[in-house]
Amino acid sequence: MAGLENNGISKGATVLRLITLALLAIMCVFKLFLTYRGLDQPAAMDQAQIARSVAKGQGFTTNFLRPLDVMTANAQAKKMKEPFSALSMRDTTHAPLNILAMAVALKMTGCDDFESTAMNDGGYVYKADRVISAVSMSFFIIAIVLAYTLISRLFDEVVACATCCFMLCSDLVLQYSVSGLPQPLMLCCMLAALHALLSGVRASEEGSDYWALFYVTLSFVCVGLMCLSGWMSLWPAAGLLLFCCFYFRPAGSYAMAAAAVLLLLLAVPAIMNYRHTGSMFGNAMLGLYNSFGGGEEAALRAANLNNSPLQGSGFVLKFLSHTFSQLRSLYVNMGSIIVVPFFFLAMLNRFRRDDVQALKWAVFSMWGISCVGMALFGVDVPVNPSQLAFLFIPIFAAFGISLVFNFLARIKYESATFVQARGLTLFVLILVSAGPFLSTVPNSLYLGIWIGDRGRPHYPPYYPPALNVNLTAITSPQDVIVTDQPYAVAWYANRKAMWIPRLVDDFSTYLEPCLNESGARVGGFLITPSSHSMPAQQGGMAAIIAEMGDFAPLAMEGKLLQIVPRHNMALADLFVDTAGADNSMTLGKLVSSHGRFSQRVPLLGAEIMYYCEPGNGPKN
């Protein structure tokens, strides 16, 4: 009987292994070629344009100028008695490891040369976008392999293959696989860390303290690399430190060694951030404004943090709101995989092997601290560079599947019947989990086949040809474009792009003088669907006003021109200071029909409008 059961399990594992490999190949082709639409994540575009600078030998310089960054870097340069240049400003927002991987790929494919990637062939998908997504896909494939080997060590090959199949059929997981975000690389590092931790736990159980310390240290080397891929990884790192404090003996000794490794790995970027901003964290801590202030974006778009102060009064309510949002959206944030919630039932189950039991508590500790971090930073959307739930999908799913198999094993089946019941259960669970993805397949395939090689951009709000071809043609590398879509301009147009501030006074009094002193000049204002279409989907005109502040009339002008194109109205004309008694800058003085940037250049009709000085538009 045991021989028949083992034979059935072996055959089941072989079939699942083949299915997993086939599914992996199919999904890679499907997402990267058949239905690929380009990048759609601001953080991915931002990291990509920094990677291009690295590949060109310009270091971690950025085209994306956040107003707060400009003012902070300028003040720090004066403090250090060094020259400040907005045209070669260093990025202090992103962790470096994913950017370095992108830079290598761009260099190897020749996409670091902006001219060679110009979209002159009439296509809608930027060539370099696919290179960036291929980097994410490569890390995703490595993560699948690491997940398979780790879960095989914890349970068996059937559970490992089933977990991989669940991931490959999840729409959210597949979105991350081509997103360009650091999560696939972070997942690789985390799974490698858990591999080392599992070896450390087993060495400790065998009484080999030397090897236990070695493997735990190796685990935190991997965790350090995870932090260098995305700063939010410091939260699960803290959770793993907490586990090591209580699990290994003598208490705290392993955690101290692990903390020393982390500090050593993070020392260089911390020193560089301090040199350029006066803070070891750079902009990483501004995410706290999502709970303590008016939001991270509001802080970054202000010339002075006094315009976006921290607010402690509503912190508790915001923190609780973000916490409940994380718990409420846990199923969605973890890929809508039906077995993921079973992990919490597995927490109540006592596994026979101590190493499995230990890893379960380690993962729970990492997840718990991560939830606190995401609540503090206000992470409430499934696809986000700060979203950590994605990292726990494979291990949560593996424990969930194992628990389901344990329930099935308690039912007295014949050996052949048990294998069949397990196979049928897996098929049904995977089919249910794949529902959200399968529902999108027909439409995605139809559009991919119908449009063909030209592709289908993520429009609105992104239309790469308008930036890569049209905007580049009428601007120069010395121009700074003030826009609501700076990350896209920085990546697709290879131009310096400053996030449009909420206050006109911030622009005229602080930002433009600072840019002029550094040798840069404001070329004009670019308004895209990011300001006049995307906020409208959430809250209409009130949302546009809240998003754009003093520049809201400029954002709404595009929509007005679409509705009544023959009237050729300019909303900014309503904000001209006709009295002339006040010399302060107004929106009308900037972009009205009689203002400084009075020439309107439609890059995609009224949808994407560029406001520049007369004579600086298209040359006939």
- For the chain, what are the domain ranges? 2-34+130-282+314-446, 42-125+459-612
Residue 560 has pLDDT above 90, yes or no: no
**What's the mean pLDDT when you consider all of the chain?**
88
CA 615 to chain centre: 39
Q: How far apart are CA 548 and CA 500, in angstroms?
A: 8
Cβ contacts of 578-583, under 8 Å, gap ≥ 24 = none
Quick count: other Cβ atoms within 10 Å of Cβ 37? 21
CA 201 to chain centre: 32
Least confident piece of the model among 116-120, 128-132, 223-227, 252-256: 252-256
List all residues 6 or more positions away from 214 whose beta carbon is below 8 Å from its beta carbon: 200, 203
Over the stretch 100-159, which tens digit does the pLDDT of each residue have? 999 999 999 999 999 999 998 888 899 999 999 999 999 999 999 999 999 999 999 999
C-beta of residue 123 within 8 angstroms of C-beta of residue 453: yes
pTM for this model (two decimals) = 0.93
More confident residue, 167 or 303: 167
**Among 194, 188, 192, 190, which Cα is nearest to 154's?**
194
Look up tokens 């939001």; give the residue: 295
Three-state DSSP string of 135-185: HHHHHHHHHHHHHHHHHHHHCCHHHHHHHHHHHHCCHHHHHHHCCCCCHHH
Q: How far apart are CA 8 and CA 370, in angstroms?
A: 40
Which run of H or E residues covers position 64? strand 64-65
Could you report how far apart the first and last alpha carbons of the chain are, in Å?
A: 85
DSSP state of 606: B
pLDDT score, position 313: 60
Confidence of residue 4 (pLDDT cuts 50, 70, 90): very low
- Residue 238, φ and ψ in degrees, nearest 5: -65, -35
Over the stretch 178-218, which tens digit does the pLDDT of each residue have? 999 999 999 999 999 999 999 999 999 999 989 999 999 99
Average pLDDT of the segment spanning 531-545 = 75
C-beta of residue 184 within 8 angstroms of C-beta of residue 177: yes
